[in-house]
Amino acid sequence: MRLIHAESGIRGLFAGLVPRVSLLAIGGSIFLGLYDITKSFWLRILERRRP
């Protein structure tokens, strides 16, 4: 880390942070959306089976 800081400064320590966080945000939103759809689907299925 000292070498990176010496060669590139503070910006070098955070290089690639924005693309990585962007990909994590996209992946998280897809996961949450699919989770919600799947949960709703299974709740409807289980509700139909109740006597």
pLDDT in tens, 3-51: 988 999 999 989 999 999 999 999 999 999 999 999 999 999 999 988 7
Q: What share of the chain is helix, strand, coil (3-state, %, to 5)?
A: 85, 0, 15
Q: What are phi and psi of 11, to 5 degrees?
A: -60, -35
Gap between the Cα atoms of 46 and 44, Å rounded = 6
pLDDT at res. 51: 72
pLDDT at res. 29: 97
Domain assignments of the chain as residue spans, ordered by start = 16-51
Contact criterion met (CB below 8 Å) for 13 and 4: yes
Termini Cα distance of the chain: 63
